[in-house]
Amino acid sequence: MNQMPNNDAFRPPASATSIKGESITLRAVSKRFGPVVGVDGVDLGVRAGEFLSLLGPSGSGKTTLLMMLAGFETPTSGSIALGDRDLTYVPPNKRGIGMVFQRYALFPHMSVAQNVAFPLKMRGVPRAEIPARVERALSLVRLQDYGGRMPAQLSGGQQQRVAVARALVFEPPVLLMDEPLGALDKKLREELQIEIKKLHESLGVTIIYVTHDQEEALTMSDRIAVMDKGRIRQLGSPTELYHEPNSSFVADFIGKMNFVEGVVHSIDDGHADIVISGETIAFPTSRIVAGATLKAGQRVRIAARPESMGVTAIATGAISGQIETSVFLGSHRTLIVRMDDGTQLQVQVPSSHRDVAEPERGRAFLALDASAVCLFPREG
Protein backbone atom coordinates (compact mmCIF):
# COMPACT_ATOMS: atom_id res chain seq x y z
CA MET A 1 0.00 0.00 0.00
CA ASN A 2 1.02 3.53 -0.66
CA GLN A 3 4.16 2.31 -2.38
CA MET A 4 5.97 4.29 -4.99
CA PRO A 5 6.05 2.61 -8.37
CA ASN A 6 9.46 1.21 -9.31
CA ASN A 7 10.63 1.78 -5.79
CA ASP A 8 12.86 -1.27 -5.86
CA ALA A 9 14.40 -0.32 -9.15
CA PHE A 10 16.06 2.62 -7.39
CA ARG A 11 17.53 0.54 -4.61
CA PRO A 12 21.09 -0.57 -5.23
CA PRO A 13 21.68 -4.32 -4.93
CA ALA A 14 22.59 -5.74 -1.53
CA SER A 15 26.13 -6.36 -2.76
CA ALA A 16 26.59 -2.61 -3.23
CA THR A 17 29.71 -0.99 -1.92
CA SER A 18 29.41 1.11 1.14
CA ILE A 19 31.57 4.20 1.14
CA LYS A 20 32.79 6.01 4.22
CA GLY A 21 31.93 9.67 3.76
CA GLU A 22 34.45 12.29 4.90
CA SER A 23 33.97 15.81 6.20
CA ILE A 24 35.14 18.87 4.28
CA THR A 25 36.26 22.13 5.88
CA LEU A 26 36.70 25.40 4.01
CA ARG A 27 38.36 28.29 5.83
CA ALA A 28 38.16 31.82 4.41
CA VAL A 29 38.34 30.51 0.85
CA SER A 30 38.48 33.19 -1.86
CA LYS A 31 39.08 33.02 -5.59
CA ARG A 32 39.81 36.06 -7.73
CA PHE A 33 40.05 36.10 -11.51
CA GLY A 34 41.95 39.37 -12.03
CA PRO A 35 39.44 42.02 -10.93
CA VAL A 36 36.53 39.56 -10.75
CA VAL A 37 35.75 38.00 -7.37
CA GLY A 38 34.43 34.47 -7.98
CA VAL A 39 34.31 33.29 -4.36
CA ASP A 40 34.60 35.72 -1.45
CA GLY A 41 35.77 34.46 1.95
CA VAL A 42 33.72 31.28 2.31
CA ASP A 43 33.78 29.36 5.61
CA LEU A 44 31.94 26.07 5.39
CA GLY A 45 31.93 22.78 7.26
CA VAL A 46 30.37 19.85 5.41
CA ARG A 47 29.66 16.87 7.66
CA ALA A 48 30.76 13.34 6.83
CA GLY A 49 28.00 11.61 4.86
CA GLU A 50 25.99 14.79 4.43
CA PHE A 51 24.09 15.83 1.29
CA LEU A 52 24.82 19.54 1.03
CA SER A 53 23.64 21.73 -1.83
CA LEU A 54 25.16 24.98 -3.04
CA LEU A 55 22.19 26.98 -4.29
CA GLY A 56 22.34 30.40 -5.90
CA PRO A 57 21.71 32.40 -9.03
CA SER A 58 23.98 32.19 -12.06
CA GLY A 59 27.38 33.78 -11.36
CA SER A 60 27.13 33.43 -7.58
CA GLY A 61 30.32 31.32 -7.37
CA LYS A 62 28.94 27.78 -7.08
CA THR A 63 31.05 26.23 -9.85
CA THR A 64 34.18 28.09 -8.77
CA LEU A 65 33.76 26.74 -5.22
CA LEU A 66 33.27 23.20 -6.53
CA MET A 67 36.29 23.47 -8.85
CA MET A 68 38.45 24.42 -5.86
CA LEU A 69 37.12 21.40 -3.95
CA ALA A 70 37.92 19.18 -6.94
CA GLY A 71 41.37 20.76 -7.34
CA PHE A 72 40.84 22.16 -10.85
CA GLU A 73 41.16 25.70 -9.43
CA THR A 74 43.51 26.89 -6.68
CA PRO A 75 42.18 29.32 -4.06
CA THR A 76 43.65 32.82 -4.09
CA SER A 77 43.55 32.54 -0.30
CA GLY A 78 42.16 30.27 2.40
CA SER A 79 42.36 26.52 2.94
CA ILE A 80 40.43 23.33 2.15
CA ALA A 81 40.62 20.12 4.19
CA LEU A 82 39.22 16.60 3.70
CA GLY A 83 38.82 15.12 7.17
CA ASP A 84 41.99 16.46 8.79
CA ARG A 85 44.09 16.28 5.64
CA ASP A 86 44.90 19.63 3.99
CA LEU A 87 43.93 19.56 0.31
CA THR A 88 44.44 23.16 -0.72
CA TYR A 89 47.31 22.48 -3.15
CA VAL A 90 46.81 18.74 -3.80
CA PRO A 91 46.24 17.93 -7.51
CA PRO A 92 42.76 16.62 -8.50
CA ASN A 93 43.79 12.97 -9.09
CA LYS A 94 45.40 12.78 -5.63
CA ARG A 95 42.32 14.03 -3.75
CA GLY A 96 40.14 10.94 -4.03
CA ILE A 97 37.11 13.09 -4.81
CA GLY A 98 34.60 12.09 -7.50
CA MET A 99 33.03 14.68 -9.78
CA VAL A 100 30.02 14.77 -12.11
CA PHE A 101 29.68 17.73 -14.47
CA GLN A 102 26.58 19.27 -15.99
CA ARG A 103 27.43 18.05 -19.47
CA TYR A 104 27.84 14.34 -19.60
CA ALA A 105 31.53 14.58 -20.37
CA LEU A 106 31.82 10.89 -21.21
CA PHE A 107 34.65 9.95 -23.56
CA PRO A 108 32.70 9.45 -26.82
CA HIS A 109 35.16 6.98 -28.35
CA MET A 110 35.11 4.65 -25.32
CA SER A 111 32.44 2.13 -24.41
CA VAL A 112 30.41 2.60 -21.23
CA ALA A 113 32.57 0.01 -19.42
CA GLN A 114 35.79 1.68 -20.63
CA ASN A 115 34.51 5.05 -19.44
CA VAL A 116 33.78 3.68 -15.98
CA ALA A 117 37.11 1.82 -15.89
CA PHE A 118 39.07 4.96 -16.75
CA PRO A 119 39.49 6.38 -13.20
CA LEU A 120 40.63 2.93 -12.01
CA LYS A 121 43.28 2.71 -14.75
CA MET A 122 44.43 6.24 -13.94
CA ARG A 123 44.89 5.17 -10.34
CA GLY A 124 46.83 2.05 -11.27
CA VAL A 125 44.26 -0.43 -9.95
CA PRO A 126 45.35 -3.99 -10.93
CA ARG A 127 43.78 -5.04 -14.26
CA ALA A 128 42.23 -8.17 -12.78
CA GLU A 129 40.16 -6.15 -10.31
CA ILE A 130 38.73 -3.73 -12.83
CA PRO A 131 35.86 -5.66 -14.49
CA ALA A 132 34.19 -6.56 -11.18
CA ARG A 133 34.44 -2.99 -9.89
CA VAL A 134 33.07 -1.57 -13.15
CA GLU A 135 30.20 -4.06 -12.98
CA ARG A 136 29.44 -3.04 -9.41
CA ALA A 137 29.50 0.69 -10.20
CA LEU A 138 27.22 0.18 -13.21
CA SER A 139 24.76 -1.86 -11.15
CA LEU A 140 24.59 1.03 -8.64
CA VAL A 141 23.01 3.10 -11.41
CA ARG A 142 21.10 0.12 -12.86
CA LEU A 143 23.11 0.00 -16.09
CA GLN A 144 24.87 -3.35 -15.57
CA ASP A 145 23.76 -4.56 -19.01
CA TYR A 146 25.02 -1.49 -20.86
CA GLY A 147 28.80 -1.88 -20.51
CA GLY A 148 29.28 -2.68 -24.19
CA ARG A 149 27.37 0.31 -25.54
CA MET A 150 28.90 3.54 -26.79
CA PRO A 151 27.79 6.83 -25.12
CA ALA A 152 26.03 7.97 -28.32
CA GLN A 153 23.74 4.91 -28.03
CA LEU A 154 22.42 6.08 -24.66
CA SER A 155 19.78 8.64 -23.71
CA GLY A 156 20.78 11.80 -21.83
CA GLY A 157 19.63 10.36 -18.53
CA GLN A 158 21.54 7.12 -19.08
CA GLN A 159 24.69 9.04 -20.01
CA GLN A 160 24.45 10.99 -16.80
CA ARG A 161 24.02 7.78 -14.82
CA VAL A 162 27.20 6.45 -16.44
CA ALA A 163 28.92 9.66 -15.35
CA VAL A 164 27.74 8.97 -11.78
CA ALA A 165 29.05 5.39 -11.98
CA ARG A 166 32.40 6.67 -13.27
CA ALA A 167 32.62 9.16 -10.40
CA LEU A 168 31.80 6.49 -7.79
CA VAL A 169 33.87 3.60 -9.18
CA PHE A 170 36.94 4.39 -7.09
CA GLU A 171 34.74 4.68 -3.99
CA PRO A 172 35.56 8.29 -3.14
CA PRO A 173 34.56 9.62 0.28
CA VAL A 174 33.20 12.76 -1.40
CA LEU A 175 31.20 13.19 -4.60
CA LEU A 176 30.85 16.63 -6.21
CA MET A 177 28.03 17.25 -8.66
CA ASP A 178 27.69 20.46 -10.69
CA GLU A 179 24.11 20.86 -11.96
CA PRO A 180 24.19 17.20 -13.06
CA LEU A 181 20.54 17.17 -14.15
CA GLY A 182 20.49 20.63 -15.73
CA ALA A 183 20.37 19.33 -19.30
CA LEU A 184 17.52 16.86 -18.73
CA ASP A 185 13.78 17.37 -19.07
CA LYS A 186 11.63 17.78 -15.96
CA LYS A 187 10.31 14.23 -15.65
CA LEU A 188 13.70 12.61 -16.09
CA ARG A 189 15.22 15.14 -13.71
CA GLU A 190 12.74 14.21 -11.00
CA GLU A 191 13.41 10.49 -11.51
CA LEU A 192 17.15 10.98 -11.26
CA GLN A 193 16.78 13.21 -8.21
CA ILE A 194 15.17 10.27 -6.41
CA GLU A 195 17.81 7.91 -7.74
CA ILE A 196 20.72 10.09 -6.58
CA LYS A 197 19.07 10.61 -3.20
CA LYS A 198 18.67 6.85 -2.72
CA LEU A 199 22.26 6.23 -3.79
CA HIS A 200 23.38 8.77 -1.22
CA GLU A 201 21.31 7.16 1.52
CA SER A 202 22.54 3.66 0.78
CA LEU A 203 26.23 4.50 0.21
CA GLY A 204 27.06 7.01 2.93
CA VAL A 205 29.22 9.13 0.62
CA THR A 206 29.39 12.90 1.28
CA ILE A 207 27.73 14.74 -1.60
CA ILE A 208 28.15 18.42 -2.48
CA TYR A 209 25.57 19.23 -5.09
CA VAL A 210 25.38 22.45 -7.09
CA THR A 211 22.05 23.67 -8.39
CA HIS A 212 20.26 26.93 -9.21
CA ASP A 213 16.90 25.14 -8.83
CA GLN A 214 15.55 25.80 -5.33
CA GLU A 215 12.98 23.01 -5.57
CA GLU A 216 15.71 20.51 -6.39
CA ALA A 217 17.78 21.75 -3.42
CA LEU A 218 14.79 21.54 -1.05
CA THR A 219 13.94 17.99 -2.12
CA MET A 220 17.41 16.50 -2.00
CA SER A 221 19.49 18.20 0.67
CA ASP A 222 20.27 17.69 4.34
CA ARG A 223 21.46 21.30 4.31
CA ILE A 224 21.61 24.07 1.74
CA ALA A 225 24.17 26.87 1.44
CA VAL A 226 22.52 29.79 -0.34
CA MET A 227 25.13 31.72 -2.33
CA ASP A 228 25.11 35.24 -3.72
CA LYS A 229 28.02 37.23 -5.15
CA GLY A 230 30.61 34.68 -4.07
CA ARG A 231 29.42 34.49 -0.47
CA ILE A 232 27.26 32.13 1.54
CA ARG A 233 24.22 34.15 2.60
CA GLN A 234 22.68 31.41 4.74
CA LEU A 235 23.41 27.80 5.61
CA GLY A 236 20.62 25.65 7.00
CA SER A 237 18.23 22.76 6.58
CA PRO A 238 15.49 23.10 3.95
CA THR A 239 12.90 23.81 6.66
CA GLU A 240 15.12 26.40 8.37
CA LEU A 241 15.67 28.26 5.12
CA TYR A 242 11.99 28.05 4.23
CA HIS A 243 10.64 29.22 7.58
CA GLU A 244 13.50 31.31 8.96
CA PRO A 245 15.24 33.06 6.07
CA ASN A 246 17.84 35.52 7.39
CA SER A 247 17.39 38.06 4.58
CA SER A 248 14.97 39.18 1.90
CA PHE A 249 17.36 37.63 -0.60
CA VAL A 250 17.03 34.13 0.87
CA ALA A 251 13.30 34.59 1.51
CA ASP A 252 12.82 35.48 -2.14
CA PHE A 253 15.09 32.76 -3.48
CA ILE A 254 13.61 29.79 -1.60
CA GLY A 255 9.99 28.93 -2.42
CA LYS A 256 7.26 31.41 -3.36
CA MET A 257 7.24 34.47 -1.10
CA ASN A 258 4.94 37.52 -0.93
CA PHE A 259 6.41 40.85 0.17
CA VAL A 260 4.17 43.52 1.67
CA GLU A 261 5.32 47.01 2.69
CA GLY A 262 4.42 48.41 6.11
CA VAL A 263 5.35 51.03 8.71
CA VAL A 264 5.88 50.28 12.41
CA HIS A 265 3.23 52.02 14.52
CA SER A 266 4.47 50.91 17.93
CA ILE A 267 6.38 48.16 19.69
CA ASP A 268 5.44 46.83 23.10
CA ASP A 269 4.95 43.65 25.06
CA GLY A 270 6.48 41.37 22.49
CA HIS A 271 4.30 42.75 19.72
CA ALA A 272 4.97 45.02 16.78
CA ASP A 273 1.94 46.89 15.52
CA ILE A 274 2.49 47.48 11.84
CA VAL A 275 0.35 49.57 9.52
CA ILE A 276 -0.25 47.97 6.15
CA SER A 277 -2.34 50.02 3.71
CA GLY A 278 -4.28 51.72 6.48
CA GLU A 279 -4.91 48.66 8.67
CA THR A 280 -2.96 48.00 11.86
CA ILE A 281 -1.85 44.38 12.31
CA ALA A 282 -0.02 42.97 15.34
CA PHE A 283 2.98 40.66 14.80
CA PRO A 284 5.06 38.85 17.45
CA THR A 285 8.46 40.57 17.73
CA SER A 286 9.96 37.06 17.52
CA ARG A 287 9.25 37.29 13.78
CA ILE A 288 11.75 40.15 13.36
CA VAL A 289 14.78 38.76 11.50
CA ALA A 290 17.66 37.85 13.83
CA GLY A 291 20.04 40.71 14.49
CA ALA A 292 17.56 43.47 13.63
CA THR A 293 15.45 45.74 15.81
CA LEU A 294 12.41 47.79 14.82
CA LYS A 295 11.24 51.14 16.14
CA ALA A 296 8.15 53.28 15.63
CA GLY A 297 8.04 55.00 12.27
CA GLN A 298 10.40 52.52 10.60
CA ARG A 299 9.55 50.95 7.24
CA VAL A 300 9.40 47.15 7.13
CA ARG A 301 8.96 44.39 4.59
CA ILE A 302 6.63 41.64 5.68
CA ALA A 303 7.41 38.34 3.96
CA ALA A 304 4.53 35.84 3.90
CA ARG A 305 4.23 32.47 2.16
CA PRO A 306 1.11 31.87 0.01
CA GLU A 307 -0.01 29.22 2.54
CA SER A 308 0.38 31.72 5.42
CA MET A 309 -2.31 33.94 3.95
CA GLY A 310 -6.00 33.18 3.85
CA VAL A 311 -9.27 34.70 2.79
CA THR A 312 -11.40 36.25 5.52
CA ALA A 313 -14.83 37.88 5.63
CA ILE A 314 -13.68 40.53 8.11
CA ALA A 315 -12.17 43.70 6.68
CA THR A 316 -10.70 44.96 9.96
CA GLY A 317 -7.04 43.98 10.33
CA ALA A 318 -7.00 42.46 6.86
CA ILE A 319 -5.16 43.27 3.67
CA SER A 320 -7.55 44.01 0.86
CA GLY A 321 -7.17 43.78 -2.87
CA GLN A 322 -8.72 42.85 -6.14
CA ILE A 323 -8.71 39.21 -7.25
CA GLU A 324 -6.99 39.01 -10.62
CA THR A 325 -6.82 35.25 -11.05
CA SER A 326 -8.37 32.31 -9.25
CA VAL A 327 -7.24 28.81 -10.17
CA PHE A 328 -8.64 25.62 -8.65
CA LEU A 329 -5.87 23.02 -8.28
CA GLY A 330 -7.64 20.21 -6.45
CA SER A 331 -5.96 20.31 -3.05
CA HIS A 332 -6.06 24.10 -3.00
CA ARG A 333 -7.07 27.20 -4.86
CA THR A 334 -4.45 29.76 -5.87
CA LEU A 335 -5.52 33.38 -5.90
CA ILE A 336 -3.56 36.24 -7.40
CA VAL A 337 -4.63 39.39 -5.59
CA ARG A 338 -3.49 42.93 -6.41
CA MET A 339 -3.38 45.39 -3.54
CA ASP A 340 -4.32 49.04 -4.16
CA ASP A 341 -0.64 50.07 -4.12
CA GLY A 342 0.00 47.61 -6.97
CA THR A 343 1.62 44.84 -4.87
CA GLN A 344 0.73 41.44 -6.26
CA LEU A 345 0.10 38.60 -3.78
CA GLN A 346 -0.25 34.88 -4.25
CA VAL A 347 -2.57 33.18 -1.78
CA GLN A 348 -3.17 29.46 -1.33
CA VAL A 349 -6.59 28.52 0.03
CA PRO A 350 -6.82 24.84 1.05
CA SER A 351 -9.81 23.08 -0.51
CA SER A 352 -10.74 21.71 2.93
CA HIS A 353 -11.80 25.26 3.89
CA ARG A 354 -15.18 24.91 2.22
CA ASP A 355 -16.81 27.14 4.81
CA VAL A 356 -14.92 30.09 3.34
CA ALA A 357 -16.71 30.95 0.14
CA GLU A 358 -14.51 30.12 -2.84
CA PRO A 359 -13.77 33.54 -4.19
CA GLU A 360 -13.21 33.87 -7.89
CA ARG A 361 -13.47 37.55 -8.57
CA GLY A 362 -14.05 40.92 -6.99
CA ARG A 363 -12.55 42.24 -3.80
CA ALA A 364 -10.96 39.95 -1.25
CA PHE A 365 -9.87 40.45 2.35
CA LEU A 366 -6.75 38.56 3.28
CA ALA A 367 -5.68 37.56 6.77
CA LEU A 368 -2.01 36.97 7.55
CA ASP A 369 -0.79 34.24 9.87
CA ALA A 370 1.21 36.72 11.97
CA SER A 371 3.22 33.95 13.62
CA ALA A 372 4.47 32.62 10.28
CA VAL A 373 5.71 35.78 8.55
CA CYS A 374 9.22 37.27 8.57
CA LEU A 375 9.78 40.95 9.29
CA PHE A 376 12.72 42.67 7.59
CA PRO A 377 13.63 46.29 8.33
CA ARG A 378 14.00 48.54 5.27
CA GLU A 379 16.70 51.13 4.93
CA GLY A 380 15.78 54.77 4.28
Q: 80 vs 113, which CB is nearer to ligand ADP?
A: 80
User: What, of ligand ADP, Mg ion, none, does residue 310 touch, CB below 5 to 8 Å by kind?
Assistant: none
User: What, of ligand ADP, Mg ion, none, does residue 214 touch, CB below 5 to 8 Å by kind?
Assistant: none
Shortest Cβ distance from residue 119 to ligand ADP (Å)? 24
User: What, of ligand ADP, Mg ion, none, does residue 75 touch, CB below 5 to 8 Å by kind?
Assistant: none
Q: 133 vs 223, which CB is nearer to ligand ADP?
A: 223
Q: How far apart are CA 4 and CA 99, in angstroms?
A: 29
Residue nearest to Mg ion (CB): 63
Q: How far apart are CA 232 and CA 241, in angstroms?
A: 13
Q: 136 vs 189, which CB is nearer to Mg ion?
A: 189
Contacting positions for ligand ADP (CB under 6 A): 33, 36, 38, 56, 58-64
Shortest Cβ distance from residue 94 to ligand ADP (Å)? 22
Is there a contact between 245 and 303 (Cβ–Cβ < 8 Å)? yes
Q: 56 vs 151, which CB is nearer to Mg ion?
A: 56
Rg, the chain, Cα only: 25
Q: How far is CA 307 from CA 143, 144, 292, in A?
A: 42, 45, 25
- DSSP assignment string, 319-365: EEEEEEEEEE-SSEEEEEEEETTS-EEEEEEETT-TTS----SSEEE
Burial of 35 (0-12, 13-18, 19+ CB in 10 A): exposed
Shortest Cβ distance from residue 219 to ligand ADP (Å)? 20
Within residues 53-72, the interface with Mg ion by CB under 5 A covers: 63
User: What, of ligand ADP, Mg ion, none, does residue 60 touch, CB below 5 to 8 Å by kind?
Assistant: ligand ADP
User: What, of Mg ion, ligand ADP, none, does residue 159 touch, CB below 5 to 8 Å by kind?
Assistant: none
The DSSP letter of residue 318 is: -
Q: How far apart are CA 149 and CA 154, in angstroms?
A: 8
Contacting positions for Mg ion (CB under 5 A): 63
